[in-house]
């Protein structure tokens, strides 16, 4: 069974199937990569909770940066956020994001706790 949460015309914020939650890409507010990453990860936390999951159940993260020069700054926030011993499989690349002001977008796949 597939369960879709907060579904609109274009996308669902969460899709759950066979004990796995797929979150739509998250961006954050702020002027700096640090601010945007913190806000983005707070949004991820909220979606994980809604999906019945948490940081310790993240399976994969895909991170897009508007500029790879921001890699270290983003990683400083990421490294403080991810629980020790629970680092997911992860990829990070550079991409043009949906709006010029966006510096980071994160896509998460996580196991549910149920």
Residues 52-79 have pLDDT tens digits of: 999 999 999 999 999 999 999 999 999 9
The count of other CB atoms within 10 Å of the CB of residue 14 is: 21
- The mean per-residue pLDDT over the stretch 23-33 comes to 98
Domain count, the chain: 1
Query: Is 90 exceeded by the pLDDT of residue 17?
Result: yes
Rounded to 10 deg, the angle between the 71-81 and 33-51 helix axes is: 40
Beta bridge partners of 12: 7
pLDDT of residue 114: 67
% of the chain at pLDDT higher than 70: 99
79 token code pair: 């490294």
- The mean per-residue pLDDT over the stretch 5-31 comes to 98
Q: What is the value of pTM for the model shown?
A: 0.96
| Contact status, residue 74 vs residue 33, Cβ threshold 8 Å | yes
Phi, psi (degrees; rounded to nearest 5) at 86: -125, 25
pLDDT band at 22, cuts 50/70/90? Answer: very high
Any idea what the CATH number is for the domain that residue 76 is in?
Answer: 3.30.1330.40
Residues 85-104 have pLDDT tens digits of: 999 999 999 999 999 999 99
Per DSSP, the residues of 26-89 read: B---SSSHHHHHHHHHHHHHHHHHHHT--GGGEEEEEEEES-GGGHHHHHHHHHHHSPTT-PPE
Which residues form the domain of 85?
2-111
pLDDT of residue 92: 98
């Amino acid at each position: 069974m597939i369960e879709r949460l907060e579904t609109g015309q274009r996308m669902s914020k969460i899709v759950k199937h066979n004990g796995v939650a797929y979150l739509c890409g998250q961006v954050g507010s702020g002027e700096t990569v640090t601010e945007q990453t913190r806000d983005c990860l707070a949004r991820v936390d909220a979606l994980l909770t809604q999906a019945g999951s948490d940081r310790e159940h993240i399976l994969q993260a895909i991170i897009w940066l508007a500029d790879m020069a921001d890699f270290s700054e983003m990683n400083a926030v990421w490294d403080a956020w991810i629980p020790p011993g629970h680092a997911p499989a992860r990829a990070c690349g550079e991409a043009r994001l949906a709006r010029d002001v966006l510096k980071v977008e994160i896509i998460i796949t996580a196991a549910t706790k149920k």
